[in-house]
Amino acid sequence: MKRREHWGSSLLFVMAAAGSAVGLGNIWKYPYIAGQNGGAAFTLIYIFWVVVIGLPLIIAELLVGRASQKDAVGAYKKLSGPNSPWWLAGALGVLTGFLILSFYSIIAGWAVAYTFKTVSAFLFSGDFLALQTAEESEAIFIKFSGHPIYPVVWHGLFMVICIYIVSRGIKSGLEACNKILMPILAGILALLVVRSVTLPGAMEGIEFLWYPDFSKINEESILIALGQASFTLSIGMGAMITYGSYLGRSENVPKSAFWTASTDTLIALLAGLAIFPAVFALGGEPTAGPSLIFVTLPVVFNHMPLGGFFGACFFAFLSIAALTSAISLLETVTAYFVDEKEWSRKKAAWIMGGIIFLLGVPCCLSYGPIQDFKIFGKNFFDLLDYLTTNIFLPFGGLLLSIFVGWFWRRRLATEAFLTGSKSARLASLWFICIRYVIPILVIVVFIAKLLGKG
Ligand code: TRP
């Protein structure tokens, strides 16, 4: 048996965990669903879920991973005994990771494509910069995303980069990549926020983000906020179990989890601050939906001084954030095949990455040739997104909290919590959240949603 690789230091681990958390969820999804669900009111509910459910669950996942030193399925198996059905909860997680990456990589591919387009337009003044109106921008976006070949190629390129990084392992793959990219990410974001909030007329966007409109809140938006909190923190599918399994005994897990969750939330809020003031200042539509950043922003950038430069920065920022998250999704799937099926890391990453690529193709085409193919009124892409984000992730989180709260004995769970962190008070607060608060809240939200529909 090879010795399990471990993260080089606490800081590098937090960078990797935050790299997983900060992604398209923060920059692409959060602004548009906040825009559609009441702005500030939605943000408050989302932050509530992050504190009450998100943080305790990240801690729980990391502890389960560290205690077992195994992938998501192996962790449940090891802690619950070989004949217990709990491994199924881990298997649901691995499947979820598989499905999420197949649509995640499509948007990531768009981001990479838009980075190239804006950079080349900035350098050579191509047609991208000549965009004047939202209609023009939308036409370009529809032509690009609906093309039967190009977006698939960008999706493939993005997957190849991911697979390459994951196949190199923890230290020279994931850690090396996060160590370089996370500081760049922070730098670009700071630049964009300053640019956006100093535009004349930015106040309206800030108001939209900070003054709550509670009339837009209903069961659906509460569930969406819950899904969003799980998605953006990378919890509910064992990604944090997997990252935790590369931790040594001395790590202070609650502290690292706290930094991961705060960085993630802060970056979502800052991304909102980089986007909305600019959108309002330049007369864009804040409720535009998934295309907000691909349709509205290019026009916005085009109307500001040095817009080509800021546009290129923005899409590079988006691509980097997507990459550091996507590798955590692929790592979760890969670790399962490495630990449980004893495949080599290279083989697992390439084969699974390849299958994910193939599954992504229909997602990609659901913006073009097969957009009229609908199941439950949603195209293939939206269906996968809705199912995984709003159903599988909260459900996976529910299973994990029941497992840790009721089956992994309290003594063991608390002991794990207290290795590294010394506060017994915090440990019992955490345990109460896991054992009672999370299961009850998640079940209530699910039931409310079901009844609300019926
Ligand atoms: N958190 C990432 C984002 O916000 C996406 C992501 C990465 C994820 N790994 C995950 C979501 C694991 C759920 C589970 O973009």
Over residues 176-229, the pLDDT tens digits come to: 999 999 999 999 998 888 888 888 878 888 887 777 888 878 888 888 899 899
104 CA distance to ligand 1 centroid (A)?
9
Residue 329 near ligand 1, beta carbon < 6 Å = yes
Residue 131 near ligand 1, beta carbon < 6 Å = no
Q: Which atom of ligand 1 is nearest to the CA of 235?
A: 14
- Nearest-angstrom CA–CA distance, 219 and 210: 21
Residue 317 near ligand 1, beta carbon < 6 Å = no
Q: Which of 171-185, 274-288, 378-392, 395-409 has the lowest mean pLDDT?
A: 274-288
Residue 5 DSSP one-character state: P
User: Band of the pLDDT at 31, cuts 50, 70, 90?
Assistant: confident
85 CA distance to ligand 1 centroid (A)?
26
Q: Which atom of ligand 1 is nearest to the CA of 325?
A: 7
- Nearest-angstrom CA–CA distance, 205 and 274: 10
User: Band of the pLDDT at 129, cuts 50, 70, 90?
Assistant: low
- The average pLDDT across 364-390 equals 86
Q: What are phi and psi of 378, to 5 degrees?
A: -120, 145
- Nearest-angstrom CA–CA distance, 300 and 282: 6
Average per-residue pLDDT for the chain: 90
422 CA distance to ligand 1 centroid (A)?
29
Q: What's the pLDDT score for residue 45?
A: 94
Number of Cβ within 10 Å of residue 360's Cβ equals 27
Residue 397 near ligand 1, beta carbon < 6 Å = no
| Higher-pLDDT residue of 312, 38 | 312
170 CA distance to ligand 1 centroid (A)?
18
Q: Indicate the pTM of the whole model.
A: 0.93
What letter represents residue 348's amino acid?
A
Residue 30 near ligand 1, beta carbon < 6 Å = no
Residue 187: CA count within 13 A, CB half-sphere: 8
| Higher-pLDDT residue of 221, 92 | 92
Q: Which atom of ligand 1 is nearest to the CA of 328?
A: 9
- Nearest-angstrom CA–CA distance, 107 and 113: 10
- Nearest-angstrom CA–CA distance, 201 and 4: 54
Q: Single out the residue of 390, 110, 112, 420 nearest to residue 255, CA to CA.
A: 420
Q: What's the pLDDT score for residue 311?
A: 87
410 CA distance to ligand 1 centroid (A)?
28
